[in-house]
Structures are given as C-alpha cells and as structure tokens.
Amino acid sequence: MRFGTRRVLVLGGTGEARRLAGKLAGRPDLHVTSSLAGRVREPQLPPGEVRIGGFGGVDGLADWLRSEDVAAVVDATHPFARTITDNAVAAARRAGCPLLVLRRPAWEPVAGDDWRPVPSMAAAAALLPELGERIFLTTGRQGLAHFAGLDLQFLVRAVDPPEPPLPPRTTVLLARGPFSVEDELALLREHRVDALVSKNSGGSMTSAKLVAARELGLPVVMVQRPPRPDAPSAGTVEQAAAWLDAVLRDHAG
C-alpha cells in the first residue's frame, strides 16, 4: 500500500461491488480491497486487490479492520447475505470503523404481475403445491433443502452445481446472467413452467424472468428480503462513492 493512501474494504460478490471497486481502484488516495466469500467456484473478480475467504466471524473481521487500519467499509454483498452483513455491522462498530450498506433497490410489481410475497424459502415451499406441477426455481443453489420434500418437477438454475438434498425430480441448469426476455420466454415455454420462485434480489441481471412471467401470466412466488440492518445505506454506486468521500473528508479533518 502506497504511503498516504487510505484503505477501503468492499465486501463484494455483486455487480454493484465490482462497479464500486472499479470506480475507486484508480484513485491515488485509496487502496481498495475487495473481499469475496468464495462460495462461487469461478467468481467475476473486481479491479484491484481481491481477498477470498472469510475473516473468522465478528472478532476476526474486527481484528482485521484494526490491524489494516481500514478507513471505511462498504458492505455490497447480496441482499440476502444476512449473516455476512450482520457480522460486518457488528465488527465495524467494534473496531470504530465507518460502514455503509450498499443495496440495489428491490423489485416492485407492476400491472400484470401475479406475485405471491412470502417471508422465507420455507414459506415459498409451502405455497407451491397449489400453484402447479412444474416449478422454475431461481433462488440459487443455497436453500434448496426447503423444497426437497416436494414431489413436483423443478427446474433449478444456478451458477454452480447445487449440493443435496434436492427435490427428487430436479433438472439443473447451470447459467450466469444477464438473461434476455426472449431467452426466458423460450425457457419457460420449453419446460412448460407453471410458476416461478425468486428472491427479491433487485437489479437487472435476472429481472428478465419477471417480464417473461408477466407476459405468460405465470405466478411468481417472491421471497422478501431480510430486514434492513441498522446502519447507513445507499442504493447506488454513486451514492456509496459520495458517502465514502464524505467519511474520508471528516476523518482527515
């Protein structure tokens, strides 16, 4: 790290995290470290220094923030990565380090949508038998155990192969977004899908499935986000960069 630079930790894995790292990486006053959890086999790496793997919980992260003299943390993890976010908020407070939660806005239903909001994956699984036989499960590879006891036909899309337990009748499709509306329509028709299950992740990478479901009149079981953490937050990369500038100015003063 160059003399006179300030270290910023970006907890990443999302498109917003990569864009923020790219925006900050070229600044001579900053040393940006992006941290990835390591759950994806071939992650899309952001610009700058990258750290893969956990810190050892709240204590380990707090110690790392102190030892590396981190000036600020931006938690730009997935909206459903609740444990990571809770640990980051607690560790930053313990270390006396400013933290911002960067979360893309959630999707909102529009005219023609048939959304069935549920609070959890377990609630989504309980609702499915009344919606049809063929289910497009687009929640990623984690949490599939909630659906393992259902005798329905599942199409599961994930970046990496999911681990058991899985539903007994499962077809796995390995793919990484973004996806087009045309491709999503073709997929839903090919597999004669009756209903979709999605987490309300927000963003444009996978939103085409919602447009396709709307056009075909299919119900979408939408798992709602965990509660927002008690910490400063931003919805865009630009807002996060402005917050960081303000924090660094205040600290310098």
- Quick: pLDDT tens for 10-31: 998 889 999 999 999 889 999 9
Same domain, 96 and 47: yes
Residue 66 lies inside a defined structural domain of this protein: yes
Same domain, 91 and 128: no
Average pLDDT over every residue of 120-136: 97
Residue 206 lies inside a defined structural domain of this protein: yes
- Please determine, for residue 243, whether its predicted confidence score (pLDDT) is greater than 70: yes
**Residue-range definition of the domain harbouring residue 206:** 115-223
Q: What is the pLDDT of residues 77-124, one digit of tens each?
A: 999 999 999 999 999 999 999 999 999 999 999 999 999 999 999 999
Same domain, 209 and 122: yes
Q: Which helix (H) or strand (E) holds 154?
A: strand 153-158
Residue 245 lies inside a defined structural domain of this protein: yes
111, two tokens: 């005219």
Same domain, 213 and 237: no
Predicted confidence band of residue 252 (pLDDT cuts 50, 70, 90): low
144, two tokens: 């599939």
Predicted confidence band of residue 149 (pLDDT cuts 50, 70, 90): very high
Average pLDDT over every residue of 180-189: 97
- Please determine, for residue 136, whether its predicted confidence score (pLDDT) is greater than 80: yes
Residue 181 lies inside a defined structural domain of this protein: yes
Same domain, 148 and 238: no
pTM summary value: 0.89
In this predicted structure, what is the pLDDT of residue 2? 53
**Phi and psi dihedrals of 49, rounded to 5?**
-70, 135
CATH of the domain at 92: 3.40.50.720
CATH of the domain at 195: 3.40.50
Average pLDDT, the chain: 93
Same domain, 211 and 127: yes
Same domain, 42 and 94: yes
Same domain, 15 and 79: yes
d(CA 173, CA 190): 13
In this predicted structure, what is the pLDDT of residue 61? 97
Domain count, the chain: 2
Same domain, 85 and 173: no
Same domain, 16 and 54: yes
Same domain, 209 and 233: no
Residue 109 lies inside a defined structural domain of this protein: no
Residue 1 lies inside a defined structural domain of this protein: no
In this predicted structure, what is the pLDDT of residue 40? 65
Query: Residue 155 in contact with residue 135, Cβ under 8 Å?
Result: yes
Q: What is the DSSP letter of 146?
A: G
Residue 205 lies inside a defined structural domain of this protein: yes
Chain mean position to CA 201: 6
